[in-house]
Copies of this chain bind each other. A is one copy, B any other.
Amino acid sequence: MPAGVVSLDYFILGLLAQQPMSGYDIKRFLKGLNWLIGSPSGGSLYPILRTLLEKDLVTVEVVPGVDRPPRKIYSITESGRQALQVWVEEPVATNAPLKAFAMRLLIADSYSHASLLAYLQLRQSQVTAHHTALTERAGSQHPDEGASLGKQLALSYGLAVAQAELDWLEGTLAWLSGEPLPEGDRQSTGAASLD
């Protein structure tokens, strides 16, 4: 059962798929990504971890710390990976906030190389359709009795962002296809992910 548009819960599950972490670890990690997706408050983060646990999507291990509070390290389970896979492959709405797409990018390591490419191509076709629709709408406006200034600005703004995303997708797909990363060679790129 997916939740809201943004689904912080599944995103957090995705982070735990990359490596086991405590709630505090997640907080610090997301603070570093504040510019992109914002960081959730403790008031949402800790309850989410509890519900993930109740649904058996994660397990906990309490690690007592020397000279500091004990930490609860959460690890994803096999049924958690299955649930994640479903979420990770479902497309985000084109009018959803960018962070909804960015969150799926951030857990790209949870994808196989092939399914990451497929997902980006799916996004590409969506945004292309979106862009085409906007272009038509822009063309259909007669200059004389045309839209208000506000609508014009919004439309050209929307087009610019969509175009930028298309360019980025094209470049990224080319890059990922050009370097097809042999199986099992991925952890060499991933070590210091928590700064």
A108 near B150 with CB under 8 A, answer yes
Beyond A98-B97, A161-B164, is A145–B36 a contact (Cβ under 8 Å)? no
Q: Which of A130, A145, A149, A164 has the most CB of B within 10 A?
A: A149
A115 on interface, CB distance cutoff 8 Å: no
B105 near A153 with CB under 8 A, answer yes
**What are 17 pairs between A and B in contact, CB < 8 Å?**
A35-B158, A36-B154, A97-B99, A106-B153, A108-B148, A109-B148, A109-B150, A138-B191, A139-B191, A142-B191, A145-B187, A147-B192, A149-B189, A149-B190, A152-B193, A157-B172, A160-B168
Known: A102-B158, A106-B153. 13 other contacts (CB 8 A): A18-B148, A36-B154, A97-B99, A105-B150, A109-B148, A109-B149, A138-B194, A139-B194, A141-B194, A143-B191, A144-B188, A153-B172, A156-B193
